[in-house]
Amino acid sequence: MSGADRRVLDEAGGLHAMTWVMAIMLFLTLLAAALGLGTRQSASALERQLAGRLTVQVVEGSPTARDALAARTLSVLRTVPEVRRAVAVDRAELTRLLEPWVGSAGVDADLPVPAMIDVDLAAGASAEPVVAAVKSVSAASRIDRHQRWMSPVSGFLDTLTWLALGLVVLMMGATAAVVVLAARAGLETHRATIEVMHMLGSTDVQVARLFQRRIATDAAIGGAVGAIAALLLLWFLGTQLAALGSQLIGGIVLEPGDWAVLVLLPLGFVLLANAAARLTVVSALRRSL
């Protein structure tokens, strides 16, 4: 780019305001996009884990009768074609889970605690045959569908995904608006110079190209700075999430395709700034000059 090109838009210490604006916009946009992509992955993983999982509660006051019913229910469940896996929950594990709520009373064998059976369904299988099989053994038994009681969490994750997408769209709109304002300010600042260029034979498209190059350069530099900062921060947060060991939060991960989207976003912003600058300058020149 020639020195004349660089002087078309105002400079400040070698760096333009547009450079910093684009850096900030890209930084925030990549964070919002990563949030949306991460929560989408987490929601998908949660649905896959819970879609085919059930817990059967065998309710019976007498421990002896309860254990007998649980054994019969487990035997019947293992004959149902839709059931991929059925396992009785260990009594010691139930006691450990109940201890924070009932204290040492949880170890009392006479405590009327339901027997629990974890059931995994085959892929795409319906839960209705399982419900019918359980009820055929004991009408008092209850079936809890994991997907149902975790649906509020899944819904919240979906809301976060759409919110993040909305933020990305808003950032794109704000970036286009900033480019329009910068281009118009440059036109006003260099109106006399542009008039001379027109008298010398320059066309509107040629003048617009000068603004387009300057803004594209600022957008590219700012986008690179913002993207590098955002990607480094995302990598750091990813390592921290992995270290937590939480099954739910640990599901907020980015797949290779998600990283590809994040890498391509800065290019999209540069193209957006380029197009907005060109359209704004050409339109303004045709109206007023």
14-26 confidence digits (pLDDT tens): 346 778 888 998 9
Residue closest to 9 by CA, chosen among 175, 174, 177, 189: 189
Burial annotation 164-184 (CB, 10 A radius, 16+ → b, else e): bbebbeebbeebbebbbebbe
> DSSP letters of 141-165?
-EEEEHHHHTHHHHHHHHHHHHHHH
Residues 6+ apart with CB under 8 A from 79: 133
Specify the residue for token string 């009785």. Answer: 88
pLDDT grade, residue 6 (50/70/90)?
A: very low
Q: What is the pTM of this model?
A: 0.66
Q: CB atoms < 10 A from the CB of 104, how many?
A: 8
Boundaries of every domain in the chain = 3-47+152-288, 60-140
Question: pLDDT tens, 234-276?
Answer: 888 877 776 665 555 555 677 788 888 888 888 888 888 888 8
Counting every residue, how long is the chain? 289
